[in-house]
Amino acid sequence: METVSHDVLVVGSGLAGLRAAIQVAIASQGKLDIAIVSKLLLMRSHSVAAEGGTAAVLYTEEGDSTDLHAYDTIKGSDYLADQNAVETFVTEAPNEILRLEHWGMPWSRRPDGRIAQRPFGGHSFPRATYAGDRVGFYEMHTLYGTLMKYSSVHIYEEYYMTDIVVEGGTCSGIVALNVKTGEMVGISAKSTIIATGGLGRLYGFTTYSHTVTGDGAAACYRAGVPLKDMEFIQFHPTGLVPSGILLSEAVRGEGGILLNKNGERFMQKYAPSKMELAPRDIISRSIVREIQEGRGYEGPNGLDYVLLDFKEIGRQKVMEKLTMMVEIGKSFAGIDPTEAPLPVRPAAHYSMGGVHTDLNGRTVFKGLWAAGEAASVSVHGANRLGSNSTIACLVFGRLAGQDAATYAMNSTVRPSIPRERILESERKLFSGLVGKEGGEDPYLIKNELHETMDRFVYVFRDEKGLTEALKKIRELKGRAKEMRVQDRSREFNSNLIGALETSNLVQLAEVVVNAALLRKESRGAHSRTDYPSRDDVNFLKHSLSYFSGDGPTVEYSPVSITRWTPQERRY
Protein backbone atom coordinates (compact mmCIF):
# COMPACT_ATOMS: atom_id res chain seq x y z
CA MET A 1 0.00 0.00 0.00
CA GLU A 2 1.28 3.46 -0.88
CA THR A 3 0.11 7.06 -1.23
CA VAL A 4 1.15 9.62 -3.82
CA SER A 5 0.15 13.24 -4.26
CA HIS A 6 -0.29 15.51 -7.29
CA ASP A 7 -1.85 18.89 -7.99
CA VAL A 8 -4.28 17.70 -10.65
CA LEU A 9 -5.44 14.14 -11.28
CA VAL A 10 -7.11 13.06 -14.54
CA VAL A 11 -8.78 9.63 -14.44
CA GLY A 12 -9.15 8.34 -18.00
CA SER A 13 -6.95 8.67 -21.04
CA GLY A 14 -9.29 9.10 -24.00
CA LEU A 15 -9.90 12.32 -25.91
CA ALA A 16 -11.45 14.18 -22.97
CA GLY A 17 -8.81 13.06 -20.48
CA LEU A 18 -5.81 13.89 -22.67
CA ARG A 19 -7.32 17.23 -23.71
CA ALA A 20 -7.99 18.12 -20.06
CA ALA A 21 -4.43 17.22 -19.02
CA ILE A 22 -2.94 19.30 -21.85
CA GLN A 23 -5.07 22.27 -20.84
CA VAL A 24 -3.94 22.01 -17.22
CA ALA A 25 -0.33 22.08 -18.42
CA ILE A 26 -1.00 25.07 -20.69
CA ALA A 27 -2.99 27.02 -18.10
CA SER A 28 -0.35 26.54 -15.40
CA GLN A 29 2.59 26.99 -17.79
CA GLY A 30 3.86 23.63 -16.63
CA LYS A 31 3.85 24.57 -12.95
CA LEU A 32 1.17 22.14 -11.81
CA ASP A 33 2.07 18.52 -11.16
CA ILE A 34 -0.38 16.47 -13.28
CA ALA A 35 -1.21 12.76 -13.07
CA ILE A 36 -3.13 10.68 -15.60
CA VAL A 37 -4.54 7.41 -14.29
CA SER A 38 -5.73 4.83 -16.82
CA LYS A 39 -6.79 1.22 -16.43
CA LEU A 40 -5.34 0.70 -19.91
CA LEU A 41 -2.23 1.61 -21.79
CA LEU A 42 -2.85 5.20 -22.85
CA MET A 43 -3.36 4.61 -26.56
CA ARG A 44 -5.77 1.72 -25.95
CA SER A 45 -8.61 4.01 -24.84
CA HIS A 46 -11.86 3.53 -26.76
CA SER A 47 -11.52 7.00 -28.32
CA VAL A 48 -9.19 5.45 -30.90
CA ALA A 49 -12.24 3.63 -32.31
CA ALA A 50 -14.06 6.84 -33.37
CA GLU A 51 -14.36 6.70 -37.13
CA GLY A 52 -16.34 9.27 -39.06
CA GLY A 53 -15.88 12.88 -37.99
CA THR A 54 -15.67 15.73 -35.50
CA ALA A 55 -18.28 18.47 -35.91
CA ALA A 56 -17.56 22.20 -36.14
CA VAL A 57 -18.58 25.17 -38.24
CA LEU A 58 -15.54 26.12 -40.34
CA TYR A 59 -16.93 27.84 -43.45
CA THR A 60 -19.48 30.52 -42.56
CA GLU A 61 -18.98 32.13 -45.96
CA GLU A 62 -20.69 29.08 -47.47
CA GLY A 63 -23.87 29.64 -45.45
CA ASP A 64 -23.20 27.68 -42.27
CA SER A 65 -23.24 29.29 -38.83
CA THR A 66 -22.81 28.40 -35.17
CA ASP A 67 -26.47 29.33 -34.63
CA LEU A 68 -27.46 26.70 -37.18
CA HIS A 69 -25.15 24.12 -35.56
CA ALA A 70 -26.78 24.94 -32.22
CA TYR A 71 -30.29 24.60 -33.66
CA ASP A 72 -29.48 21.28 -35.33
CA THR A 73 -28.01 19.97 -32.06
CA ILE A 74 -30.97 21.13 -29.96
CA LYS A 75 -33.55 19.79 -32.42
CA GLY A 76 -31.59 16.53 -32.64
CA SER A 77 -31.62 16.29 -28.84
CA ASP A 78 -35.44 16.38 -28.94
CA TYR A 79 -35.13 19.65 -27.01
CA LEU A 80 -33.63 18.09 -23.88
CA ALA A 81 -30.19 19.68 -24.40
CA ASP A 82 -29.36 22.68 -22.22
CA GLN A 83 -29.28 25.48 -24.74
CA ASN A 84 -26.73 27.61 -22.88
CA ALA A 85 -24.36 24.64 -22.94
CA VAL A 86 -24.98 24.06 -26.64
CA GLU A 87 -24.23 27.69 -27.46
CA THR A 88 -20.89 27.45 -25.65
CA PHE A 89 -20.20 24.12 -27.34
CA VAL A 90 -20.73 25.27 -30.93
CA THR A 91 -18.78 28.50 -30.35
CA GLU A 92 -15.75 26.65 -28.96
CA ALA A 93 -15.81 23.77 -31.46
CA PRO A 94 -14.01 25.48 -34.41
CA ASN A 95 -11.18 26.53 -32.10
CA GLU A 96 -10.54 22.90 -31.16
CA ILE A 97 -10.38 21.81 -34.81
CA LEU A 98 -7.77 24.48 -35.50
CA ARG A 99 -5.80 23.66 -32.34
CA LEU A 100 -5.53 20.05 -33.44
CA GLU A 101 -4.50 21.27 -36.88
CA HIS A 102 -1.68 23.31 -35.32
CA TRP A 103 -0.66 20.34 -33.16
CA GLY A 104 -0.24 18.14 -36.23
CA MET A 105 -3.63 16.49 -36.84
CA PRO A 106 -3.67 15.06 -40.42
CA TRP A 107 -7.14 16.26 -41.40
CA SER A 108 -8.40 15.18 -44.80
CA ARG A 109 -8.33 18.01 -47.35
CA ARG A 110 -10.44 19.59 -50.02
CA PRO A 111 -8.88 19.92 -53.48
CA ASP A 112 -7.98 23.54 -52.61
CA GLY A 113 -6.04 22.40 -49.53
CA ARG A 114 -8.55 23.52 -46.91
CA ILE A 115 -9.81 21.12 -44.22
CA ALA A 116 -12.48 18.79 -45.63
CA GLN A 117 -15.87 18.15 -44.05
CA ARG A 118 -18.54 15.55 -44.84
CA PRO A 119 -22.32 15.38 -44.16
CA PHE A 120 -23.57 13.63 -41.01
CA GLY A 121 -27.08 12.84 -39.83
CA GLY A 122 -29.20 15.72 -38.53
CA HIS A 123 -26.74 18.43 -39.61
CA SER A 124 -27.86 21.08 -42.11
CA PHE A 125 -24.34 21.46 -43.56
CA PRO A 126 -21.30 19.20 -43.93
CA ARG A 127 -19.61 19.76 -40.54
CA ALA A 128 -17.94 16.42 -39.85
CA THR A 129 -14.24 17.23 -40.03
CA TYR A 130 -12.45 13.95 -40.71
CA ALA A 131 -9.24 12.05 -41.33
CA GLY A 132 -10.37 9.26 -43.63
CA ASP A 133 -12.44 6.96 -41.42
CA ARG A 134 -9.94 6.87 -38.54
CA VAL A 135 -10.57 10.25 -36.94
CA GLY A 136 -10.36 9.10 -33.29
CA PHE A 137 -7.12 7.22 -33.92
CA TYR A 138 -5.44 10.29 -35.39
CA GLU A 139 -6.89 12.66 -32.79
CA MET A 140 -5.57 10.47 -29.99
CA HIS A 141 -2.11 10.33 -31.55
CA THR A 142 -2.11 14.10 -31.99
CA LEU A 143 -3.08 14.71 -28.35
CA TYR A 144 -0.64 12.11 -27.05
CA GLY A 145 2.22 13.68 -29.02
CA THR A 146 1.30 17.11 -27.66
CA LEU A 147 1.06 15.79 -24.10
CA MET A 148 4.60 14.41 -24.32
CA LYS A 149 5.93 17.98 -24.55
CA TYR A 150 5.13 18.54 -20.88
CA SER A 151 7.50 17.11 -18.28
CA SER A 152 5.00 17.95 -15.51
CA VAL A 153 2.73 15.05 -16.55
CA HIS A 154 3.02 11.68 -14.76
CA ILE A 155 1.27 8.66 -16.24
CA TYR A 156 -0.11 5.75 -14.23
CA GLU A 157 -0.96 3.11 -16.80
CA GLU A 158 -2.88 -0.01 -15.77
CA TYR A 159 -4.19 1.46 -12.53
CA TYR A 160 -7.86 0.68 -11.88
CA MET A 161 -9.82 3.24 -9.85
CA THR A 162 -11.94 1.55 -7.19
CA ASP A 163 -13.22 4.57 -5.25
CA ILE A 164 -13.44 8.35 -5.32
CA VAL A 165 -12.66 9.83 -1.89
CA VAL A 166 -14.91 12.67 -0.72
CA GLU A 167 -14.70 14.13 2.77
CA GLY A 168 -16.79 17.10 3.95
CA GLY A 169 -18.07 17.88 0.47
CA THR A 170 -14.60 18.04 -1.08
CA CYS A 171 -12.90 15.43 -3.25
CA SER A 172 -9.37 14.59 -2.15
CA GLY A 173 -8.53 12.03 -4.84
CA ILE A 174 -9.01 8.33 -5.52
CA VAL A 175 -8.08 4.85 -4.41
CA ALA A 176 -6.75 2.66 -7.22
CA LEU A 177 -5.44 -0.85 -7.76
CA ASN A 178 -2.03 -1.11 -9.40
CA VAL A 179 -2.92 -3.93 -11.79
CA LYS A 180 0.74 -4.78 -12.40
CA THR A 181 1.59 -5.39 -8.72
CA GLY A 182 -1.77 -5.84 -6.98
CA GLU A 183 -0.99 -3.01 -4.55
CA MET A 184 -3.62 -0.50 -3.49
CA VAL A 185 -2.64 3.14 -3.98
CA GLY A 186 -4.12 6.34 -2.63
CA ILE A 187 -3.67 9.15 -5.19
CA SER A 188 -4.53 12.55 -3.77
CA ALA A 189 -4.92 15.81 -5.68
CA LYS A 190 -6.31 19.29 -5.29
CA SER A 191 -8.36 18.77 -8.48
CA THR A 192 -9.67 15.45 -9.83
CA ILE A 193 -11.18 15.14 -13.33
CA ILE A 194 -13.19 12.03 -14.23
CA ALA A 195 -12.92 11.26 -17.96
CA THR A 196 -13.49 7.51 -18.05
CA GLY A 197 -15.89 7.34 -21.00
CA GLY A 198 -19.25 5.65 -21.37
CA LEU A 199 -21.02 2.51 -20.18
CA GLY A 200 -21.86 0.71 -23.42
CA ARG A 201 -20.92 -2.75 -22.20
CA LEU A 202 -24.26 -2.82 -20.42
CA TYR A 203 -25.28 -4.42 -23.72
CA GLY A 204 -24.15 -7.49 -25.59
CA PHE A 205 -24.71 -6.09 -29.09
CA THR A 206 -22.68 -2.91 -28.96
CA THR A 207 -20.01 -0.95 -30.80
CA TYR A 208 -17.99 -0.47 -27.60
CA SER A 209 -14.70 -2.00 -26.57
CA HIS A 210 -14.99 -4.54 -23.74
CA THR A 211 -13.24 -2.06 -21.44
CA VAL A 212 -16.04 0.57 -21.58
CA THR A 213 -17.75 -0.30 -18.32
CA GLY A 214 -18.77 3.02 -16.76
CA ASP A 215 -16.19 2.90 -13.97
CA GLY A 216 -16.05 6.66 -13.45
CA ALA A 217 -19.81 7.18 -13.49
CA ALA A 218 -20.30 4.31 -11.03
CA ALA A 219 -17.62 5.62 -8.66
CA CYS A 220 -19.10 9.14 -8.76
CA TYR A 221 -22.57 7.71 -8.13
CA ARG A 222 -21.39 5.79 -5.06
CA ALA A 223 -19.61 8.92 -3.80
CA GLY A 224 -22.86 10.91 -3.94
CA VAL A 225 -22.73 12.67 -7.31
CA PRO A 226 -26.04 12.45 -9.20
CA LEU A 227 -26.15 10.83 -12.62
CA LYS A 228 -28.14 12.80 -15.19
CA ASP A 229 -30.45 11.51 -17.97
CA MET A 230 -29.19 7.95 -17.76
CA GLU A 231 -32.28 6.56 -19.51
CA PHE A 232 -31.01 7.93 -22.83
CA ILE A 233 -28.79 5.36 -24.55
CA GLN A 234 -28.02 5.92 -28.23
CA PHE A 235 -28.22 3.03 -30.65
CA HIS A 236 -26.11 3.52 -33.74
CA PRO A 237 -28.13 2.37 -36.78
CA THR A 238 -25.30 0.45 -38.42
CA GLY A 239 -23.69 -2.08 -36.10
CA LEU A 240 -22.20 -4.90 -38.15
CA VAL A 241 -23.96 -8.26 -37.69
CA PRO A 242 -23.04 -10.38 -35.78
CA SER A 243 -20.11 -8.60 -34.07
CA GLY A 244 -21.65 -5.18 -33.37
CA ILE A 245 -18.54 -3.42 -34.72
CA LEU A 246 -19.32 0.13 -35.80
CA LEU A 247 -19.83 0.89 -39.48
CA SER A 248 -19.31 4.63 -39.52
CA GLU A 249 -22.00 7.15 -40.32
CA ALA A 250 -19.41 8.37 -42.80
CA VAL A 251 -20.60 5.56 -45.10
CA ARG A 252 -24.02 7.22 -45.32
CA GLY A 253 -22.40 10.66 -45.34
CA GLU A 254 -20.51 9.68 -48.49
CA GLY A 255 -23.64 8.26 -50.16
CA GLY A 256 -24.27 4.77 -48.75
CA ILE A 257 -27.92 3.68 -48.54
CA LEU A 258 -30.05 1.31 -46.43
CA LEU A 259 -32.09 -1.45 -48.07
CA ASN A 260 -34.61 -3.96 -46.74
CA LYS A 261 -34.94 -7.52 -48.02
CA ASN A 262 -37.30 -6.32 -50.78
CA GLY A 263 -34.55 -4.10 -52.13
CA GLU A 264 -36.41 -0.97 -51.01
CA ARG A 265 -34.64 2.18 -49.82
CA PHE A 266 -36.97 2.35 -46.83
CA MET A 267 -35.84 5.64 -45.24
CA GLN A 268 -37.99 7.37 -47.86
CA LYS A 269 -40.99 6.42 -45.68
CA TYR A 270 -39.60 7.68 -42.38
CA ALA A 271 -37.49 10.79 -43.11
CA PRO A 272 -38.08 11.80 -46.73
CA SER A 273 -36.05 15.02 -46.60
CA LYS A 274 -33.00 13.53 -44.85
CA MET A 275 -33.19 9.85 -45.81
CA GLU A 276 -30.09 8.05 -44.47
CA LEU A 277 -28.86 11.32 -42.96
CA ALA A 278 -31.68 11.64 -40.46
CA PRO A 279 -30.67 11.60 -36.76
CA ARG A 280 -29.67 8.25 -35.34
CA ASP A 281 -32.71 7.69 -33.15
CA ILE A 282 -35.02 8.01 -36.16
CA ILE A 283 -32.97 5.68 -38.37
CA SER A 284 -32.61 3.09 -35.60
CA ARG A 285 -36.36 3.00 -35.03
CA SER A 286 -36.92 2.76 -38.78
CA ILE A 287 -34.61 -0.26 -39.10
CA VAL A 288 -36.25 -2.05 -36.18
CA ARG A 289 -39.71 -1.40 -37.63
CA GLU A 290 -38.64 -2.85 -40.97
CA ILE A 291 -37.38 -5.95 -39.19
CA GLN A 292 -40.47 -6.27 -36.96
CA GLU A 293 -42.77 -5.99 -39.98
CA GLY A 294 -40.98 -8.79 -41.80
CA ARG A 295 -38.84 -6.81 -44.24
CA GLY A 296 -35.51 -7.66 -42.64
CA TYR A 297 -33.19 -10.60 -43.16
CA GLU A 298 -33.03 -13.42 -40.65
CA GLY A 299 -29.74 -13.21 -38.77
CA PRO A 300 -27.82 -15.40 -36.32
CA ASN A 301 -29.03 -15.65 -32.71
CA GLY A 302 -31.99 -13.37 -33.37
CA LEU A 303 -29.83 -10.59 -34.85
CA ASP A 304 -32.08 -9.89 -37.83
CA TYR A 305 -30.79 -7.15 -40.09
CA VAL A 306 -31.08 -4.86 -43.10
CA LEU A 307 -28.36 -4.00 -45.61
CA LEU A 308 -25.92 -1.09 -45.84
CA ASP A 309 -25.10 -0.69 -49.53
CA PHE A 310 -21.89 1.08 -50.60
CA LYS A 311 -22.46 0.90 -54.36
CA GLU A 312 -23.81 4.47 -54.69
CA ILE A 313 -20.52 5.78 -53.29
CA GLY A 314 -18.35 4.19 -55.97
CA ARG A 315 -15.34 1.97 -55.46
CA GLN A 316 -12.76 4.71 -55.97
CA LYS A 317 -14.22 6.97 -53.28
CA VAL A 318 -14.65 4.04 -50.89
CA MET A 319 -10.98 3.13 -51.29
CA GLU A 320 -9.96 6.75 -50.75
CA LYS A 321 -12.16 7.68 -47.78
CA LEU A 322 -13.50 4.49 -46.17
CA THR A 323 -10.61 2.04 -46.15
CA MET A 324 -11.25 0.87 -42.61
CA MET A 325 -14.85 -0.02 -43.51
CA VAL A 326 -13.49 -2.28 -46.22
CA GLU A 327 -11.11 -3.94 -43.75
CA ILE A 328 -13.90 -4.43 -41.20
CA GLY A 329 -16.28 -5.88 -43.78
CA LYS A 330 -13.71 -8.37 -45.04
CA SER A 331 -12.35 -9.34 -41.62
CA PHE A 332 -15.57 -9.60 -39.59
CA ALA A 333 -18.27 -10.43 -42.13
CA GLY A 334 -16.28 -12.00 -44.96
CA ILE A 335 -17.73 -9.39 -47.33
CA ASP A 336 -15.96 -6.79 -49.46
CA PRO A 337 -18.40 -3.84 -49.24
CA THR A 338 -17.30 -2.56 -52.65
CA GLU A 339 -18.79 -5.76 -54.08
CA ALA A 340 -21.76 -6.57 -51.80
CA PRO A 341 -23.72 -4.80 -49.01
CA LEU A 342 -23.05 -5.39 -45.32
CA PRO A 343 -25.59 -6.69 -42.75
CA VAL A 344 -26.45 -4.09 -40.08
CA ARG A 345 -28.80 -3.44 -37.17
CA PRO A 346 -28.85 -0.85 -34.35
CA ALA A 347 -26.15 -1.35 -31.71
CA ALA A 348 -25.67 0.34 -28.34
CA HIS A 349 -23.25 3.16 -29.08
CA TYR A 350 -23.30 6.13 -26.69
CA SER A 351 -24.64 7.35 -23.37
CA MET A 352 -26.20 10.80 -23.55
CA GLY A 353 -26.40 10.73 -19.76
CA GLY A 354 -23.58 10.76 -17.26
CA VAL A 355 -22.14 12.54 -14.25
CA HIS A 356 -24.09 15.73 -13.61
CA THR A 357 -21.85 18.76 -14.25
CA ASP A 358 -22.02 22.44 -15.07
CA LEU A 359 -20.50 24.06 -18.16
CA ASN A 360 -16.99 23.88 -16.74
CA GLY A 361 -17.31 20.24 -15.72
CA ARG A 362 -17.80 20.94 -12.02
CA THR A 363 -19.76 18.37 -10.05
CA VAL A 364 -21.66 18.87 -6.79
CA PHE A 365 -18.39 18.39 -4.85
CA LYS A 366 -15.48 20.82 -4.66
CA GLY A 367 -12.33 19.53 -6.30
CA LEU A 368 -14.19 17.09 -8.60
CA TRP A 369 -14.88 17.55 -12.31
CA ALA A 370 -16.08 15.29 -15.11
CA ALA A 371 -15.73 15.56 -18.89
CA GLY A 372 -16.37 13.64 -22.09
CA GLU A 373 -18.86 10.80 -22.34
CA ALA A 374 -18.59 10.16 -18.59
CA ALA A 375 -20.26 13.54 -18.02
CA SER A 376 -23.60 15.11 -18.92
CA VAL A 377 -23.38 18.88 -19.38
CA SER A 378 -25.95 18.45 -21.26
CA VAL A 379 -25.39 19.19 -24.96
CA HIS A 380 -26.77 15.92 -26.33
CA GLY A 381 -30.07 15.79 -24.47
CA ALA A 382 -32.16 12.80 -25.53
CA ASN A 383 -30.26 12.08 -28.75
CA ARG A 384 -26.74 12.98 -29.89
CA LEU A 385 -26.03 14.05 -33.45
CA GLY A 386 -23.25 12.12 -35.14
CA SER A 387 -19.80 13.79 -34.96
CA ASN A 388 -20.85 15.87 -31.92
CA SER A 389 -19.22 13.40 -29.52
CA THR A 390 -15.51 13.73 -30.25
CA ILE A 391 -15.78 17.50 -30.39
CA ALA A 392 -17.65 17.51 -27.06
CA CYS A 393 -14.73 15.57 -25.55
CA LEU A 394 -12.32 18.21 -26.84
CA VAL A 395 -14.38 21.28 -25.90
CA PHE A 396 -15.42 20.16 -22.44
CA GLY A 397 -12.11 18.44 -21.76
CA ARG A 398 -10.48 21.82 -22.31
CA LEU A 399 -13.01 23.70 -20.17
CA ALA A 400 -12.74 21.20 -17.30
CA GLY A 401 -8.95 21.27 -17.51
CA GLN A 402 -8.88 25.06 -17.42
CA ASP A 403 -11.23 25.28 -14.44
CA ALA A 404 -9.49 22.49 -12.52
CA ALA A 405 -6.12 24.17 -13.11
CA THR A 406 -7.40 27.50 -11.81
CA TYR A 407 -8.81 25.80 -8.71
CA ALA A 408 -5.54 23.95 -8.03
CA MET A 409 -3.40 27.06 -8.50
CA ASN A 410 -5.56 28.99 -6.04
CA SER A 411 -5.77 26.21 -3.45
CA THR A 412 -3.37 26.26 -0.51
CA VAL A 413 -4.58 22.96 0.96
CA ARG A 414 -2.89 19.75 -0.15
CA PRO A 415 -5.33 16.91 0.51
CA SER A 416 -4.41 13.37 1.46
CA ILE A 417 -6.07 9.96 1.33
CA PRO A 418 -6.64 8.46 4.80
CA ARG A 419 -4.74 5.21 5.26
CA GLU A 420 -7.86 3.53 6.61
CA ARG A 421 -9.70 4.33 3.37
CA ILE A 422 -7.06 2.52 1.33
CA LEU A 423 -7.08 -0.46 3.71
CA GLU A 424 -10.88 -0.61 3.48
CA SER A 425 -10.68 -0.85 -0.31
CA GLU A 426 -8.00 -3.50 -0.10
CA ARG A 427 -10.08 -5.61 2.31
CA LYS A 428 -13.07 -5.45 -0.03
CA LEU A 429 -11.01 -6.75 -2.94
CA PHE A 430 -8.63 -9.24 -1.43
CA SER A 431 -10.70 -10.57 1.46
CA GLY A 432 -14.17 -10.15 0.01
CA LEU A 433 -13.56 -11.25 -3.60
CA VAL A 434 -10.20 -12.86 -4.33
CA GLY A 435 -9.97 -16.55 -3.54
CA LYS A 436 -13.51 -16.68 -2.20
CA GLU A 437 -14.88 -20.19 -1.89
CA GLY A 438 -18.19 -20.60 -3.67
CA GLY A 439 -20.14 -17.57 -4.81
CA GLU A 440 -21.24 -16.23 -8.17
CA ASP A 441 -19.33 -16.20 -11.43
CA PRO A 442 -19.00 -12.55 -12.59
CA TYR A 443 -18.95 -13.56 -16.25
CA LEU A 444 -22.29 -15.34 -15.98
CA ILE A 445 -23.77 -12.29 -14.27
CA LYS A 446 -22.51 -10.07 -17.07
CA ASN A 447 -23.90 -12.37 -19.74
CA GLU A 448 -27.32 -12.34 -18.09
CA LEU A 449 -27.15 -8.55 -17.86
CA HIS A 450 -26.40 -8.35 -21.60
CA GLU A 451 -29.34 -10.60 -22.43
CA THR A 452 -31.65 -8.51 -20.25
CA MET A 453 -30.59 -5.14 -21.66
CA ASP A 454 -30.58 -6.34 -25.28
CA ARG A 455 -34.08 -7.74 -24.91
CA PHE A 456 -35.93 -5.22 -22.76
CA VAL A 457 -33.99 -1.92 -22.93
CA TYR A 458 -33.33 -1.71 -26.67
CA VAL A 459 -34.60 0.73 -29.32
CA PHE A 460 -38.26 0.27 -28.27
CA ARG A 461 -39.29 -0.10 -24.63
CA ASP A 462 -42.47 -0.52 -22.61
CA GLU A 463 -43.65 -0.75 -19.00
CA LYS A 464 -43.82 -4.52 -18.95
CA GLY A 465 -40.35 -5.04 -20.40
CA LEU A 466 -38.69 -2.36 -18.27
CA THR A 467 -40.34 -3.75 -15.13
CA GLU A 468 -39.07 -7.23 -16.00
CA ALA A 469 -35.60 -5.81 -16.67
CA LEU A 470 -35.48 -3.96 -13.35
CA LYS A 471 -36.55 -7.07 -11.48
CA LYS A 472 -33.81 -9.11 -13.16
CA ILE A 473 -31.15 -6.43 -12.64
CA ARG A 474 -31.93 -6.23 -8.93
CA GLU A 475 -31.57 -9.98 -8.74
CA LEU A 476 -28.17 -9.65 -10.48
CA LYS A 477 -27.24 -6.82 -8.12
CA GLY A 478 -27.81 -9.13 -5.17
CA ARG A 479 -25.83 -11.92 -6.80
CA ALA A 480 -23.00 -9.50 -7.64
CA LYS A 481 -22.44 -8.98 -3.91
CA GLU A 482 -21.58 -12.68 -3.73
CA MET A 483 -19.17 -12.78 -6.67
CA ARG A 484 -16.04 -14.89 -6.44
CA VAL A 485 -12.65 -14.31 -8.06
CA GLN A 486 -11.01 -17.67 -8.55
CA ASP A 487 -7.63 -16.24 -9.54
CA ARG A 488 -5.76 -15.73 -6.24
CA SER A 489 -2.80 -13.86 -7.65
CA ARG A 490 -2.05 -10.20 -7.02
CA GLU A 491 -0.31 -9.40 -10.29
CA PHE A 492 -2.40 -8.79 -13.43
CA ASN A 493 -5.51 -10.37 -11.94
CA SER A 494 -7.85 -9.82 -14.90
CA ASN A 495 -10.47 -11.99 -13.17
CA LEU A 496 -10.61 -9.40 -10.38
CA ILE A 497 -10.88 -6.48 -12.82
CA GLY A 498 -13.68 -8.29 -14.63
CA ALA A 499 -15.60 -8.71 -11.37
CA LEU A 500 -15.19 -5.02 -10.48
CA GLU A 501 -16.37 -3.98 -13.95
CA THR A 502 -19.38 -6.29 -13.72
CA SER A 503 -20.32 -4.79 -10.36
CA ASN A 504 -20.20 -1.29 -11.88
CA LEU A 505 -22.29 -2.34 -14.89
CA VAL A 506 -25.03 -3.91 -12.77
CA GLN A 507 -25.17 -0.82 -10.58
CA LEU A 508 -25.46 1.47 -13.60
CA ALA A 509 -28.03 -0.75 -15.31
CA GLU A 510 -30.33 -0.27 -12.32
CA VAL A 511 -29.99 3.51 -12.72
CA VAL A 512 -30.69 3.36 -16.48
CA VAL A 513 -33.76 1.14 -16.24
CA ASN A 514 -35.22 2.87 -13.19
CA ALA A 515 -35.01 6.28 -14.90
CA ALA A 516 -36.47 4.78 -18.10
CA LEU A 517 -39.46 3.40 -16.20
CA LEU A 518 -40.16 6.77 -14.61
CA ARG A 519 -39.98 8.70 -17.91
CA LYS A 520 -43.44 7.98 -19.31
CA GLU A 521 -42.98 9.51 -22.74
CA SER A 522 -41.03 9.00 -25.95
CA ARG A 523 -38.18 11.46 -26.47
CA GLY A 524 -35.10 10.96 -28.64
CA ALA A 525 -33.45 7.61 -28.02
CA HIS A 526 -35.95 6.76 -25.25
CA SER A 527 -38.86 5.37 -27.28
CA ARG A 528 -41.76 3.80 -25.36
CA THR A 529 -44.47 1.99 -27.29
CA ASP A 530 -46.90 2.52 -24.39
CA TYR A 531 -46.21 6.28 -24.31
CA PRO A 532 -45.50 7.02 -27.99
CA SER A 533 -45.61 10.84 -27.79
CA ARG A 534 -43.25 13.41 -26.34
CA ASP A 535 -44.69 15.04 -23.21
CA ASP A 536 -43.21 18.50 -22.68
CA VAL A 537 -45.70 19.32 -19.94
CA ASN A 538 -44.48 16.59 -17.61
CA PHE A 539 -41.05 15.54 -18.91
CA LEU A 540 -39.22 18.53 -20.40
CA LYS A 541 -36.72 18.05 -17.58
CA HIS A 542 -33.52 16.21 -16.70
CA SER A 543 -33.57 13.15 -14.46
CA LEU A 544 -31.02 13.12 -11.61
CA SER A 545 -30.39 9.69 -10.06
CA TYR A 546 -28.86 9.60 -6.58
CA PHE A 547 -27.31 6.62 -4.83
CA SER A 548 -29.05 5.01 -1.89
CA GLY A 549 -28.77 1.62 -0.27
CA ASP A 550 -32.16 0.58 -1.62
CA GLY A 551 -31.48 1.70 -5.18
CA PRO A 552 -31.52 5.02 -7.03
CA THR A 553 -33.74 7.90 -5.96
CA VAL A 554 -34.69 10.27 -8.77
CA GLU A 555 -35.17 14.02 -8.77
CA TYR A 556 -35.62 16.33 -11.74
CA SER A 557 -34.12 19.63 -12.86
CA PRO A 558 -35.26 22.08 -15.55
CA VAL A 559 -33.85 22.24 -19.06
CA SER A 560 -32.13 25.51 -19.96
CA ILE A 561 -34.04 27.09 -22.87
CA THR A 562 -32.50 30.30 -24.17
CA ARG A 563 -33.63 30.87 -27.76
CA TRP A 564 -35.23 27.79 -29.31
CA THR A 565 -38.76 26.82 -28.27
CA PRO A 566 -39.48 23.07 -28.40
CA GLN A 567 -41.19 22.02 -31.62
CA GLU A 568 -42.15 18.79 -33.33
CA ARG A 569 -39.16 17.16 -34.99
CA ARG A 570 -39.58 16.62 -38.73
CA TYR A 571 -36.89 15.51 -41.17
Element (H, E) at 327: helix 323-333
Amino acid at 76: G
**Residue 449: which of 472, 481, 482, 467 has the closest Cα?**
472
What CA–CA distances, in Å, run from 538 to 2, 513, 542? 50, 19, 11
SS3 content of the chain, % helix, strand, coil (to 5): 40, 20, 40
Residue 436 half-sphere exposure toward CB, CA atoms < 13 A: 21
DSSP string, 361-408: -B-SSBTEEE-GGGEE-SSSTTSPPTTHHHHHHHHHHHHHHHHHHHHH
- Cβ atoms within 10 Å, residue 451: 13
> Is residue 236 among the annotated active site residues?
yes
Residue whose C-alpha is closest to residue 385's, from 128, 87, 88: 128
φ, ψ at 509 (rounded to 5°): -60, -40
Concerning whether 252 is annotated as a catalytic residue, the answer is yes
In order, the DSSP letters of 443-509 are HHHHHHHHHHHHHHSSSEE-HHHHHHHHHHHHHHHHHHTTB-B----STT-HHHHHHHHHHHHHHHH
The pair phi, psi for residue 511, each rounded to 5°, is -65, -45
Catalytic residue among 6, 123, 201, 236: 236
Tally Cβ neighbours within 10 Å of residue 487. Answer: 14
- HSE on the CB side for 41, CA within 13 Å? 2
The pairing of strands 54-55 and 128-129 is antiparallel
CA–CA dist 558, 388 (Å, integer)? 23
Task: Answer positive or negative: Cα dihedral of 553, 558, 564, 570.
Answer: positive
Q: Which helix (H) or strand (E) holds 419?
A: helix 419-430
Domains contained in the chain, CATH given: 234-345 (3.90.700.10), 426-532 (1.20.58.100)
Q: Is the Cβ–Cβ distance between 12 and 196 less than 8 Å? A: yes
- Which of 393, 46, 11 is closest to 199 using CA atoms? 46
Distance in angstroms (rounded) separating the CA atoms of residues 271 and 249:
16
Q: In tens digits, what is the pLDDT along the chain, a chain of 571 residues?
A: 799 999 999 999 999 999 999 999 999 999 999 999 999 998 999 999 999 899 999 999 999 999 999 999 999 999 999 999 999 999 999 999 999 999 999 999 999 999 999 999 999 999 999 999 999 999 999 999 999 999 999 999 999 999 999 999 999 999 999 999 999 999 999 999 999 999 999 999 999 999 999 999 999 999 999 999 999 999 999 999 999 999 999 999 999 999 999 999 999 999 999 999 999 999 999 999 999 999 999 999 999 999 999 999 999 999 999 999 999 999 999 999 999 999 999 999 999 999 999 999 999 999 999 999 999 999 999 999 999 999 999 999 999 999 999 999 999 999 999 999 999 999 999 988 997 788 999 999 999 999 999 999 999 999 999 999 999 999 999 999 999 999 999 999 999 999 999 999 999 999 999 999 999 999 999 999 999 999 999 999 999 999 998 999 999 999 999 999 999 999 9
Identified catalytic residue from 6, 46, 118, 252: 252
Give the Cα separation of 399 and 254 in Å (integer).
32
